[in-house]
Amino acid sequence: MPHLSEELIAPCGMNCGTCIAFFGHTMSGGKRKKRCQGCRAENKSCAFLKKKCKKLDKNNINYCYECESFPCEHLKILDEHYRKRYNISLIDNLISIKEKGMDFFLRSQEDEWKCPECGEIMCCHNYTCFNCGFKRPKN
């Protein structure tokens, strides 16, 4: 599965194709026994929010921006964590998808995460290309 596809955009706005678990690694630098396939694989819906959101749990919405409570407190907490640690806003990702469309969002993700050395997609959690080893400085 390619790293940049609609199937890899989680309901919360996370691009699972840039996630360290999708690359088969752990945050501590080890290898996972099983590589994650993304939040939508096997109908998981959303690793972080599904247990806290009835609409996601019942598959009533595809993306959090479709909810009248967007952005809910659970998403705000997750967004704040990602802003502080990785300089990524899941809420901004969702707004971009809603306002400009999925194709635009996927192109912008490619621009953001394409490795300047080999052209593969880099990990958003540690700014590393697992293909060639290039490490980008954190923004």
Q: Where are the alpha helices (DSSP H) in 1-126?
A: 54-57, 73-86, 90-100, 102-113
Per-residue confidence at 87, pLDDT binned at 50, 70, 90?
very high
Distances (CA, A) of 47 to 14, 97, 137: 10, 20, 27
Report if residue 133 sits inside a domain.
Answer: no
How many separate domains does the chain show? 1
Q: Which domain holds residue 101?
A: 6-113
Report if residue 131 sits inside a domain.
Answer: no
- Prediction pTM value: 0.89
Report if residue 63 sits inside a domain.
Answer: yes
Cβ(19)–Cβ(36) below 8 Å: yes
Per-residue confidence at 47, pLDDT binned at 50, 70, 90?
low
Residues 91-127: tens digit of each pLDDT: 999 999 999 999 999 999 999 999 999 999 999 999 9
Report if residue 122 sits inside a domain.
Answer: no
Cβ(9)–Cβ(97) below 8 Å: yes
Residue 79 is encoded by which pair of tokens? 């967004």
